[in-house]
Amino acid sequence: MSEHLTVVDHPLVQHKLTLMRDKGTSTAVFRQLLREITLLLAYEVTRELKLTTRHIETPMEEMDAPILAGKKLALVSILRAGNGMLDGVLELVPSARVGFVGLYRDEETLKPVQYYFKAPEGLKDRLVIAVDPMLATGNSSAAAIDLLKEAGATDIRFLCLLAAPEGVARMKEAHPDVNIVTASLDRELNSKGYIMPGLGDAGDRMFGTK
Ligand code: URA
């Protein structure tokens, strides 16, 4: 696997993903599983966070103990499905700052259209984790990363649940510096831009809109 893409093959991640793919899984369970699986993926995507040391006293003696260095990380949800991944990351990193990028996919052209952007201050000094469950064509993901870079971000990771080879290739071409962490690299996109075998429309499944 290239540095650019990390597929988390932990058995708990794969088990939960299978339950999420199953079309018989209810909205409530789907959302709960997404929160749980995101927490496990967040563990992987934060693996290289920088550490410094703090001098502390344990009940036994003094020590220089490791502690996170630098500014709090910024978590950016690509609306609307990205919101389903916020809680899982925030459970692991409760002090993260949170931003939102609103893009919708034009169903004709499959191109992203921006309608909202709000990011935490000081992006250039933070690790920025952009979250969106489905890396499909990669067009909206690449556009979201463009906006984050324009806002100053320099150290960005992309966290998703499923990735299509087409989306990974598009991201690699547009943003080779942005590492992707996912639970699965699926087979392909269908003619409508859906991931196969996939799990359907992630937003609809988590919010019960269909
Ligand atoms: N967005 C989704 O929600 N599902 C797909 O399969 C592709 C894009």
pLDDT for residue 49 is more than 50:
yes
177 annotated as a binding-site residue:
no
202 annotated as a binding-site residue:
yes
pLDDT for residue 147 is more than 90:
yes
Point out the ligand 1 atom lying closest to the alpha carbon of residue 198. 6
DSSP assignment string, the chain: --TTEEE---HHHHHHHHHHHSTTS-HHHHHHHHHHHHHHHHHHHTTT--EEEEEEE-SS-EEEEEEE-SSPPEEEEEETGGGGGHHHHHHHSTT-EEEEEEEEE-TTT--EEEEEEE--S-GGGSEEEEE-SEESSSHHHHHHHHHHHHTT--EEEEE-SEE-HHHHHHHHHH-TT-EEEESEE-SEE-TTS-EESS-S-HHHHHHT--
Domain annotation for the chain: domains and CATH numbers? 5-207 (3.40.50.2020)
Task: Give the pLDDT score at 2.
Answer: 55
* Mean pLDDT taken over the chain: 94
- CA-CA distance, 41 to 24, in Å (whole number)? 24
pLDDT for residue 111 is more than 80:
no
Percentage of residues in the chain with pLDDT exceeding 90?
88
Worst-scoring range by mean pLDDT, 30-44, 96-110, 130-144, 171-185? 96-110
- Quick one: pLDDT band at residue 109, thresholds 50, 70, 90? confident
Residues having CB closer than 6 A to ligand 1 are 81, 134, 136, 193-195, 198, 201-203
- Between the CA of 84 and the centroid of ligand 1 the distance, in Å, is 14
Q: Is the entire prediction scored with pTM above 0.75?
A: yes
Q: How far is CA 97 from the centre of its chain?
A: 14
Active site residue 204: yes
Nearest CA to ligand 1 atom 2: 201
Percentage of residues in the chain with pLDDT exceeding 70?
99
Active site residue 201: yes
- Between the CA of 132 and the centroid of ligand 1 the distance, in Å, is 10
- Between the CA of 14 and the centroid of ligand 1 the distance, in Å, is 19
- Quick one: pLDDT band at residue 1, thresholds 50, 70, 90? very low
